[in-house]
Structure 1
Amino acid sequence: MGEIRHHDDDNINHHIKKPKLTQTLISPAQILTEFAHHAPETARINNGSFGSVPNTITTSQRQFHLKFLSQPDQFFFNTLPKQILTSRKLLRSLINADDVSEVALVDNATTASAIVLQNVGRGFSEGRYARNDVVVMFSCAFQAVKKSIDAYVRRAGGEVVVVDLPFPVREKDEIVNAVIMPVKELVKVCREEGVDRVFVDAAHAIGSVSVDVKEIGADFYVSNLHKWFFCPPSVAVLYSRKDVAEDLHHPVVSHEYGNGLAIESAWIGTRDYSPQLVVPDVFEFVNRFEGGIEGIMKRNHDAVVEMGEMLAKSWGTSLGAPPEMCPNRFGVEVPIHYQPLRDEEAGPRDQSGGFVTGYARISHQVYNTVDDYIKFRDAVNQLLRDGFSCKMLIPREE
């Protein structure tokens, strides 16, 4: 039986196909065609959760499926290692990493969190960290990250400190989910305070904001590629700075164990690797838009701000953050909340005594139109007419 070997040696793939610089820009009609598989009766304004995949990319993905099905040995022994390396090299340039060995492709940000926090947990058992050493995280952390900290850090003897963040946000000193966090500044504070390792879970970053991992300065940084970079689900890029990455390992152990995280992640047994393989095609797709991915990010930002302000004005409500802090998602207060108190009247309150309000997180991607947000506005208005209130969201006491 053969053994698949992955290497980061440029010599095995020195003729890397660069993404084409398309001369003809994509038209509105072509955009509609690329996303024609979307359910026509649904206004998709939640791109941030699961992303979207153009037909061009699903076609490329299907070609990789057929290559595997037609000749698995040829695919796994030759096509797969070279194509994954090509994808990693393109992403290395996109995020400005020093070396391709710092760039690993994993399933998603949840997997990346497990990889990093597993390493932290081993640090306690191996004596790098002492019992009651502290991991600091924000209250807005993704639930899977919080659970990973419990699984790998608390059980190993570490303590966890949660920093509460306010909402709505009025300035960049107040940071929370769905807005651009001042990551570079936060990493700088961590360094000044002697924090040993910094991990940034930037699940939405690539395709939303420009990413320069050297400028950010974190030890570990992850971003999904299926949320805002048009890759099929699921794939994420995990950056690990070379001088701290030596002891990182993928939790699924294969014969590549010990060859570095990027190589370990490139082979975790027989499975579908196609989301990692279509990355070059995604680069070509975004280059069909004026300004490439930077142009897409600007248009999404401008559009989501316009739609958020339209909704807030229509409902007479507030925005969840300053527009400049919202890349392609925006928190908009919905009018299914208490009315301001008049003459000592009572309003619905949560368990901490605060008034209950509701915010909707809207997203904008290249396929969205104004009609999508009008449908959403009208649906919320219908809830109002039906008597819905955020009071209904309060957990009932047993």
Structure 2
Amino acid sequence: MSVPQPPEPIPGARLLFSLDPAVSHLNHGSFGAVPVNVQRVQQRLRDEMEANPLRFFGPGLVDRIAHTRRHLAAFLGADPDGTALVGNATTGVAVVLQSLGLRPGDEVVTTDHGYGAVGYSVDRECRRTGATHRVLRVPLTATDEQIVEIVRAGLRPGRTRLLVVDQLTSATARLFPAAALVGIGHEHDVPVLVDAAHAPGMLPAPVGGIGADFWVGNLHKWGYAPRGTAVLVVAPSWRDRIEPLIVSWEQPAGFPGNVEWQATLDYTSWLAAPAGVWTLRTLGVDRVRAHNAALAAYGQRVVGDGLGVAPANLPEPGGPTVAMRIVPLPAGTATTIEEARALRGRIAERLATEVNVMSWDGRGWLRLCGQVYNSPDEYERLAVRLPTLLALR
């Protein structure tokens, strides 16, 4: 089977970013990269804030945040009245968990593909309330139909108070059948939280049609927003029950304002976020999605070839616009979180390449991303040099 051809580069796209050219940045999915024009918009907002803090934080700021919220909700296909701006997806998860009113005997169900920090958040809330956290094992090769059946069998009506599923997993770069899983939850009267940290900007209209009770997504990854920009989308039946993590002056306004307003928080990342969406649209949203997915697929294949991984053993992400791919590392490599972090550091230091190394299901995995500032030769260099580095461990 031949290696897929890399996509044609998008002219000028690399120049939009201030990334160090001496480093190959193949891990956009972790912290994103903010375009220069968006950085400048945020800096102008910071200058405005520092020129007159009292004016900036005055009554007009609430309206500016609401305007930003409406803009971002429209981009995501979400109801702006049910959308709150938050710092990141895990913040949104924490808001949901502490608003549920869990009690002893209740349980929260997740899968083993879930994000680690979300699992920690669930564990903490369960310890605090006496509830139980139960994790469903989903094989990496499971089909959508099999995933649905695993979740269906794992719910316990009357006990399961929340089902947490990913739209696109971080650890395994797998697109889950989120809408179908939401439907299964609702069949059993179980509310569903969809962790869509990677969806905004990568997946088309990621909120529309899902029907989740709660949906969280980051704009600072694939949406080119400044870091610290995410949304929590809540279904109408739950909005009156949402409680913010921090109570401040917008508490009487209810959701979403009471979640958004946190007094002297630096709101400039949120206010600059529409500039990120504008940049994405200027490049061409569909064009960027197709480019990034094709480049990630190319990178997965060439790095897999370099490590001697047969194409049949390279996991498919499950969607045509998924711009993250994983490659299995040699047996015995990065089998723990600590080993994975150490290997990621060695790759960064010795190969001048930023990737993500994950430990999942007792095996190490290399996660590669594709973005408009990347080029095929970056993956090709990694494919040549990585086997030597691994042999030196």
TM range (shorter): 0.7 to 0.9
Equivalent residue for 2:123? 150
- Structure 1 residues without counterparts, runs of 5 or longer: 1-26, 125-130, 339-353, 389-398
TM-score, normalising length: structure 1: 0.78
Contact 1:301 1:328 in 2 (8 A): yes
1:329–1:80 distance in 2 versus 1, CA, 3 Å:
same
Contact 1:154 1:160 in 2 (8 A): no
Q: Cα distance, 1:280 vs. partner?
A: 2.0
> 1:119 aligned to 2:99?
yes
**CA–CA distance in structure 2, aligned partners of residues 239 and 356 of structure 1:** 34
Q: Cα distance, 1:323 vs. partner?
A: 5.0
Q: Deviations over 1:160-219 (max 9, x none)?
A: 22101223x364346663111110111111112231x11111111111212343411110
**CA–CA distance in structure 2, aligned partners of residues 312 and 90 of structure 1:** 40
Contact 2:226 2:269 in 1 (8 A): yes
Further displaced range: 132-141 or 57-66: 132-141
**CA–CA distance in structure 1, aligned partners of residues 206 and 195 of structure 2:** 14
> 1:102 aligned to 2:82?
yes
**CA–CA distance in structure 2, aligned partners of residues 154 and 198 of structure 1:** 20
1:272–1:335 distance in 2 versus 1, CA, 3 Å:
same
Equivalent residue for 2:343? none
> 1:32 aligned to 2:14?
yes
> 1:184 aligned to 2:179?
yes
**CA–CA distance in structure 2, aligned partners of residues 280 and 44 of structure 1:** 24
Q: Which residue of the other structure, out of 158, 174, 193, is the alignment partner of 2:188? A: 193
Contact 2:42 2:272 in 1 (8 A): yes
Contact 1:104 1:261 in 2 (8 A): yes
Equivalent residue for 2:6? none
Aligned AA (2:176)? M
Q: Which structure carries more strand by proportion?
A: 2
What secondary structure does 1:153 align onto?
helix
> 1:165 aligned to 2:138?
yes
Equivalent residue for 1:265? 259
> 1:91 aligned to 2:53?
no
Q: Deviations over 1:317-372 (max 9, x none)?
A: 0444225447010011234669xxxxxxxxxxxxxxx9975321100111111122
1:335–1:81 distance in 2 versus 1, CA, 3 Å:
same
**CA–CA distance in structure 1, aligned partners of residues 248 and 375 of structure 2:** 46
**CA–CA distance in structure 2, aligned partners of residues 316 and 205 of structure 1:** 31
**CA–CA distance in structure 1, aligned partners of residues 317 and 225 of structure 2:** 27
Q: Deviations over 1:128-157 (max 9, x none)?
A: xxx312211111222221122122234312
Contact 1:336 1:384 in 2 (8 A): no
> Runs of 4 or more off by more than 6 Å in structure 1?
none
Identity, in percent, stands at 30
Contact 2:225 2:277 in 1 (8 A): no
Contact 1:91 1:103 in 2 (8 A): no
Q: Which residue of the other structure, out of 48, 54, 76, is the alignment partner of 2:35? A: 54
Q: Which residue of the other structure, out of 33, 39, 47, is the alignment partner of 1:66? A: 47
Q: Which residue of the other structure, out of 358, 369, 372, is the alignment partner of 1:363? A: 369
What secondary structure does 2:232 align onto?
strand
**CA–CA distance in structure 2, aligned partners of residues 62 and 104 of structure 1:** 23
1:370–1:360 distance in 2 versus 1, CA, 3 Å:
same
**CA–CA distance in structure 1, aligned partners of residues 264 and 196 of structure 2:** 28
- Alignment RMSD, CA only? 2.4
> 1:139 aligned to 2:112?
yes
Residues 336-347 of structure 1: matches in 2 within 5 Å?
A: none
Equivalent residue for 2:308? 316
Contact 2:77 2:207 in 1 (8 A): yes
Aligned AA (1:379)? R
Aligned AA (1:142)? Y
Contact 2:224 2:277 in 1 (8 A): no
Q: Cα distance, 1:385 vs. partner?
A: 4.3
**CA–CA distance in structure 2, aligned partners of residues 155 and 67 of structure 1:** 42
**CA–CA distance in structure 2, aligned partners of residues 355 and 51 of structure 1:** 26
Equivalent residue for 1:288? 282
1:305–1:138 distance in 2 versus 1, CA, 3 Å:
same
Q: Deviations over 1:231-264 (max 9, x none)?
A: 1111101101122111112111101113223212
> 1:328 aligned to 2:296?
no
- Structure 2 residues without counterparts, runs of 5 or longer: 1-8, 148-168, 334-359
Q: Cα distance, 1:81 vs. partner?
A: 2.2
